[in-house]
A = this chain, B = another copy of it.
């Protein structure tokens, strides 16, 4: 009852008409990424996700994963393994991985569009290959030669998958508390012992081997985050020549029963002196981990995007078909027993919120993908550095805003269905349940906000933000005489100015009291996200006007931009007021007096 059709028209609009990736790819020398290839990949991706993954979305939720306590084996719902085989056979696993390791070397921005399709089609299924990408990145950038040789190719080919093993029962956001131990062994390996929780895809039946990337402490490690190292711990031991040996001492102890993503196995993983190999430098595990983490954070932002789009599509279809009441201004379809509910302004408010946050969010996310392209394929070191700065700045915004918006939009889309939205059969409640994890895993919204404000702005002097602000300024300057944009340029420039001002304001306060950072962080993050989206919506209007889109498409973009500027962007007023309120508005009550 819940459908998904890949919005190829809007995906192409984002990539080609707004972000002009054709020019970018040409400049980066990505010769394989010609337009006909890109079009074919997008078409094939749509076909695969619509016909193979989407039909398993609701059945996977109803069935869930199976855990065998005797063997520690986990079996994904019916059809999931077969879908994974088709995914691997069709070559999707390594589509953006380097050709040197068996990948196809296609651009990451294209990869993000494909991820959006996968996540919208089947979020739980998408979680299994998702973390392989992070493992690939960590191995490429921090692994030794033999580690790359032995572990990378099977992951890139999809024969094995990867995981990230960070969290422990007593340590989530605060990795400094972690206890998993790594004892050096005579053969140069380490014996890893400890319990990790919330391990997505920690065990499954898709592949013969699973490559765990595990944070642990060496015996002499300093306390806190400065004493954490990263290890490769395969499920089946692998020799340095690549030959697969016996079962390693790592085992799934149980799977979680969760609100949503039932078909995604969330595992407790017990390491009992398992053989592991150090990646990168001792005690520098967090560096290597952030390589994975940033990739995963972008990917989770894209999950939010996929959920928004699927929720929107279904709500839109329902709103066109469901007949209920007459428009207050008079019947619009007098021949029908009632008007379709899309005539009601408040139903439109909910649909337009999804459309504005989803299609605008697509530009935000794909733009981040183009920065990955530059970092991966750019030939100019300075350009790569700048892209990296901008991407680090944007990553927490993409992750947190798109996931928070997915919670909001799945709420609205369910609400459009009324009581039917609350019933499982229609699939809308599943979208809402699935969305709810995205603001938590790979760093909660609060953690993203601290990363943005504390690290990317205040510690790193806001280099990425300055770049983004100058993109806005250039755009406003270029477009100041474009009549199609007249109504948007001034409010956008004004918001950008206020953004800078708020940033200085917080910076000043934070230098006196670091709690001001935490007090402002989440509101600042939302503020930033709404201004960024205003920029992308203005660019969407410019892109639609300049391209060869049809009139209806242009109209829809322009009117959605109006809706966004008039009804969503004003949320920044509330966030700015909350930011200005400062820490005193939060810290006045002693912990024990909260329920005095």
Q: Are A422 and B444 in contact (CB under 8 A)?
A: no
Q: Are the CB atoms of A256 and B328 closer together than 8 Å?
A: no
Partner of A571, one of B174, B346, B574: B574
Flag if A515 contacts B349 (CB, 8 Å).
Answer: no
A559 contacts partner chain B, Cβ-Cβ < 8 Å: yes
Does A170 lie at the interface of the complex (its beta carbon under 8 Å from any beta carbon of B)?
yes
Contacts of A29 in B (CB 8 A): none
Chain B residue contacts of A51, Cβ below 8 A:
none
Q: Which B residues lie within 8 Å of A170 (CB)?
A: 323
Contact B515 A327 (CB under 8 A): yes
Nearest 10 A/B pairs, CB to CB = A570-B577, A259-B429, A559-B588, A345-B518, A566-B581, A552-B596, A573-B573, A328-B514, A345-B519, A552-B593
- Decide yes or no whether A480 CB sits under 8 A from chain B: no
Interface, chain A (partner B; CB < 8 A) = 7, 9, 167, 170-174, 176-177, 197-198, 256-260, 313, 316, 319-320, 323-325, 327-330, 337-338, 340, 342-349, 351-352, 355, 407, 411, 414-415, 418-419, 421-425, 429, 432-433, 436-437, 439-441, 444-446, 449-450, 454, 513-515, 517-519, 521-522, 550, 552-553, 555-556, 558-560, 562-563, 566-567, 570-571, 573-574, 577-578, 581, 583-596
Q: Are A588 and B555 in contact, with the CB atoms below 8 A?
A: yes
A173 and B552 contact, CB distance less than 8 A: no
A9 CB contacts on chain B under 8 angstroms: 596
Partner of A419, one of B172, B422, B433: B172
The answer on a CB contact under 8 Å between B419 and A436 is: no
| Residue in chain B with minimal CB distance to A169 | B420
Query: Is A578 touching B567 in the complex (CB atoms < 8 A)?
Result: yes
Let me know if A586 and B436 touch, CB within 8 A: no
Q: Are A258 and B424 in contact (CB under 8 A)?
A: yes
Residue A259 contacts which of B173, B433, B560, B595 (CB distance < 8 angstroms)?
B433
Given A256-B424, A419-B440, 11 more contacts at CB 8 Å?
A: A174-B338, A197-B419, A329-B513, A343-B591, A345-B583, A352-B586, A414-B436, A415-B445, A552-B592, A555-B593, A563-B588
